[in-house]
Chains A and B, each alone.
Chain A
Amino acid sequence: EVKLVESGGGLVQPGGSLRLSCATSGFTLSSYEMRWVRQAPGKGLEWISYISSSGSTIYYADSVKGRFTISRDNAKNSLYLQMNSLRAEDTAAYYCAREVYNGGFDPWGLGTLVTVSS
């Protein structure tokens, strides 16, 4: 079974940092591009970061550029998101997702909640 499990979320003060992890299983991570997508409470979905299968190509949405860093360790079957300089508007559920069919996301993890508040 293909599975993604995020961890590392929690409550953090504005300006603080968190590192999210996404543990994968049931497929060969090194064969897939991966993404992080977030969803603010009661809101829609926002793609925030992309990483190629080897990790050599990375992109960010403007909303997180310069503050977030995506990385992966294919040997450990894991994806990461280092989040610095967090703001209240970064409060959201963060999902990792596997990119398939040249652009669809399947599956998604269950998500990890990040709350930025003083």
Chain B
Amino acid sequence: EIVMTQSPATLSVSLGERATLSCRASQSVSYNLAWYQQKPGQAPRLLIHGASTRAPGIPDRFSGSWSGTEFTLTISSLQSEDFAVYYCQQYNTWPMYTFGQGTKLEIK
């Protein structure tokens, strides 16, 4: 099973600042990685697929990148509605997809 490790567990950032969230795969997943945002009491929402492609309707302040087995979600200028838990998910090993444990993004 591919293990996805997200860091940090909690990230404190001020409004308007940049947030950088990391996700590492235990082995290559190519670019088959998605990012989700989950707010309390809500379902996850797809932000990024293919490691760097924004899903429809996602603001361009959200961007994804990767190098090898290291993936990054960057939020360029934090808005109040961005504070949530973010999950990465690999979908390289069909059908056994795995998620990271999540990063909680909180207001500093």
Contact = CB atoms under 8 A, between A and B. Distances in A.
A43 to B, nearest CB: 8
27 contacts: A44-B87, A44-B99, A45-B87, A45-B89, A45-B99, A45-B102, A47-B96, A47-B97, A47-B99, A59-B95, A59-B96, A95-B43, A101-B49, A101-B50, A101-B53, A103-B34, A103-B91, A104-B34, A104-B46, A105-B34, A105-B44, A105-B89, A106-B55, A107-B43, A107-B46, A108-B44, A111-B43
B100 A44 contact: yes
Given A44-B101, A101-B50, A104-B55, A50 B95 contact: yes
Interface string A94-112: 0100001111111111110
A104 B49 contact: yes
Interface of A: 44-47, 50, 59, 61, 95, 100-111
Nearest to B87: A45
Contacts of A61: 96
A45 to B, nearest CB: 4
A104 B98 CA distance: 11
A103 B95 CA distance: 9
Q: How large is the interface on B (under 10, 10 to 19, 20 to 34, 35 or more residues)?
A: 20 to 34
Contacts, number: 62
Contacts of B32: 102-103
Contact of A105 (B46, B53, B92, B100): B46
Nearest to B32: A103
Interface string B81-95: 000000101011011
